[in-house]
Amino acid sequence: MTMSRTEVITSVERRRRWSRDEKKRLVATSLEAGVAASEVACSAGIHVSQLFRWRKDLCGGSDAGTSQLVPVAMCRLKAAPPVMETPPPLGRRRRKSGTIKIEFGGGRHVRVDADLNVDALRRGLSARRSKQRQNAARPANSGNC
């Protein structure tokens, strides 16, 4: 049976003292595959920047647990023909063809130029929707997390 240590803070000073073993345990947990550093920090009651500082101190400045080398293939590309840009006519400025405002609710919106690539906008909005679904599926945290 393992007993966890509980620390009661009774003074005005809110600084905690973390042993080297506790720091190592939290850093090791944050380096596990599929674990978010912010969740580890939140569960320990520390700011995520403190956890990253401990990572840097304990891992020698590099994030060895998550960095990987990947193979790279080099290939020759045919040179593209030079693109000739025509200067804008003198005395007249190009007018914008229009701006579109997309509202998401909750006071959030995005403005896009009419020259926007529609496929890029579609991918961005799709990524935003999937991120919202992930956030909605998470349980509500208490405190600053």
Q: What is the pLDDT of residues 24-58, one digit of tens each?
A: 999 999 888 888 999 999 988 899 999 999 988 88
What's the farthest any 2 CA atoms get from each other in the chain? 83
User: In this predicted model, what pLDDT tens digit does every residue of 73-88 receive, in sequence order?
Assistant: 777 777 777 777 776 6
Counted domains in the chain = 2
**Is the per-residue pLDDT at 126 higher than 90?**
no
Contact (Cβ atoms closer than 8 angstroms) between residue 143 and residue 42 = yes
109: containing domain: 97-133
pLDDT above 60 (res 141): no
Instruction: Give the mean model confidence (pLDDT) for residues 3-30.
Output: 80
Rounded Cα distance, 100 and 98, in Å: 7
Q: Is residue 144 included in any domain, yes or no?
A: no
Q: Is the pLDDT at 145 greater than 70, yes or no?
A: no
Instruction: For residue 78, tell me if it sits in a domain.
Output: no
| Domain-embedded: residue 83 | no
DSSP 1-29: ----------SS-------HHHHHHHHHH
Q: Give me the pLDDT at residue 83, please.
A: 73
Residue among 131, 140, 144 nearest 41 (CA): 144
pTM above 0.75, yes or no: no
For residue 138, being part of any structural domain is answered with no
Does 127 fall in a domain? yes
What average pLDDT does the chain have?
76
Establish if 29 belongs to a structural domain. yes
Q: Which amino acid is at 56?
A: K
Alpha helix stretches (DSSP H) within the chain: 20-30, 37-44, 48-58, 118-137
Quick check: 87 and 55 in contact, CB under 8 A? no
Rounded to whole angstroms, the Cα distance separating 116 from 145 reads 36
Residue 20 lies in a domain: yes
Q: Per the domain annotation, does 108 fall within a domain?
A: yes
